[in-house]
Amino acid sequence: MKTVGYFEGTDSGLLTTIVANGFCTLPLANEWDGHGKEASLIEPNEVDLIIGYLHKVMPPLKMRKDTKELLPLTDDEYRGIRPSDLLYRAKAYNIQVFIIVPEEYHDEAKRLLGEASECVTLVNPDDLEKKVREYLRF
């Protein structure tokens, strides 16, 4: 039986549809919100598909005191976690990852994801259910 890993905020109606069609679901967490099993710790054959919004794979930001500019946390502050670190095992185990981003932000999402953009599929929110159905074949 295939299992869909999902980050917090994934549409509950879609998750219900997935389960009603005979698939399992597993909540996944980034390393800063603790919603479920940390995505960076998934094992081979544990999940077949990962779904989540862009902001769930982006590390927290901090504000510079002098300019008020938002910056990624430093290695010491958040262990250097990047989207590619969080999704490393998905890439290593060839797990399909759907990152939900409105189409007009796909270019910016690719820039923000950096290396991780090579191993994810950006999906417009309106197209997500169709993409999931195609991928899981139901």
The per-residue pLDDT for range 69-127, each reduced to its tens digit, is 555 554 444 455 789 999 999 999 999 999 999 999 999 999 989 999 999 999 999 99
Strand partners, 71: 62
Give the side-chain half-sphere CA count within 13 A for 133: 9
Contact indicator for 1, 49 with CB cutoff of 8 Å: no
Tens of pLDDT, residue by residue over 40-73, are: 999 999 999 999 999 999 877 655 556 655 555 5
Q: What are the chain's domains? A: 3-136 (3.40.50)
Total-model pTM: 0.86
**Main-chain dihedrals φ then ψ at residue 29, nearest 5 degrees:** -125, 150
Amino acid code (one letter) for 80: G
| CA 29 to mean position of chain CA atoms | 9
In this structure, how many other beta carbons lie within 10 angstroms of the beta carbon of residue 18? 24
Listed residue (21, 18, 16) closest to 49, CA to CA? 18
